[in-house]
A = this chain, B = another copy of it.
Amino acid sequence: MAGGEVVVETLDSRVLRGNPLRDPARRDIAIYLPPKYDPTKRYPAAYAIVGYTGTGKSLLNIDPLGEDLKSKLDRLIRTGKMGPMIVPMVDCFTRVGGSQYINSSAIGRYEDYLLKEIIPFIERRYRISRRGVWGKSSGGYGAIVQAMLHPDTWQALADHSGDSCFEFCYIIDFPAALEAFRDHGGPAGWLRWYWRQPNRRKEGFFHPLNALGMAAHYSPNPRSPHLGIDFPFDLETGEWRPEVWARWRAWDPVNMVERYARVLRRMRLVYIDCGTKDQYNLIWGARTLHAKLTKLRVRHVYEEFDDTHSNIQYRYDTSLPLMWKALSR
């Protein structure tokens, strides 16, 4: 069963050079090329951006109970569910655990990195017809937000279980984050301590990591002594800071879609799905998005499924063929 091929290329970023978290500027990009890839032809490209605590290459991780992305793409193409497509897998991992794929003075310019460096880099090497962006969780968030912000770049998006309705998905992490920060002399102290731990996936670590990471994206503040980040709560007492929270809310897709309705209507595919048992409560963001897009007359595909946020790569069986179709029409 001859399948496609995964090529790994290395890119030295200018944009990431000197980033505040000292994350590497030199990074790999894994690129799936379909079977019988012909360098003289144009292919649609579905850029994969991953969720928090992952990186592009983790999509290729082997699971004997499941299916890695390469096997999935090979199978979807082999069985005629979709045609040949190029799938670049992007590495935007950072010291705060991942990326929301937006620029932030506290982290670096990952939005620019994706747009101004990765896309040109890929497309100098591979001939692309049209471009889609897709991902799960933070990757789903990135997909819908980047498509809204850069409709000239992206012609399709798939947002799987993406961050939204921030009141329900993020606040649940804050109490444990507050405790962790207090225990380690603040967010900076916690982050240093965290990276010294041999097991960084211990239960409970995700809360402070996620709270810190999201604050770094949504409320950076170069004048803050806490890693250049404002927090929506007082770091000592937990007192709510509505003015910081308002900055987060401005980045919530459910609060952005009205403004970007026009550009979303131009997309060839707006795909949104979410599990009804999503443990980060993302189903409510998805439902809100669906209701708003419907009201705004943005054509979109919306699906709910009976599952949680975890191990739901099988959902790509639905979105990727739709994306291929949308980009190939």
Contact = CB atoms under 8 A, between A and B. Distances in A.
A281 B175 contact: yes
Contacts of A308: 202-203
Nearest to A53: B65
Majority secondary structure, A binding face = loop
Nearest to A275: B199
B287 A238 contact: yes
A100 interface: no
Tell me how many chains of this kind the complex includes: 4
A201 interface: yes
Interface residues of A, number: 52
Interface of A: 53-55, 57-58, 60-66, 93, 97-98, 165, 167-168, 171-172, 174-175, 178, 198-203, 233-234, 236-240, 254, 281, 283-285, 287-288, 290-291, 307-308, 310-312, 314, 317
A237 B291 contact: yes
B60 A201 contact: no
Given A167-B171, A171-B171, A172-B172, A285 B238 contact: yes
A66 B200 contact: yes
A199 B234 CA distance: 31
Given A174-B168, A288-B239, A55 B60 contact: no
Contacts of A97: 65
Contact of A61 (B61, B178, B200, B236): B61
Contacts of A53: 64-65
B171 A175 contact: no
Contacts of A61: 58, 61-62
A287 B161 CA distance: 35
Given A168-B175, A237-B287, A238-B287, 9 more contacts: A57-B62, A58-B61, A60-B62, A168-B174, A171-B171, A199-B314, A236-B287, A238-B284, A238-B288
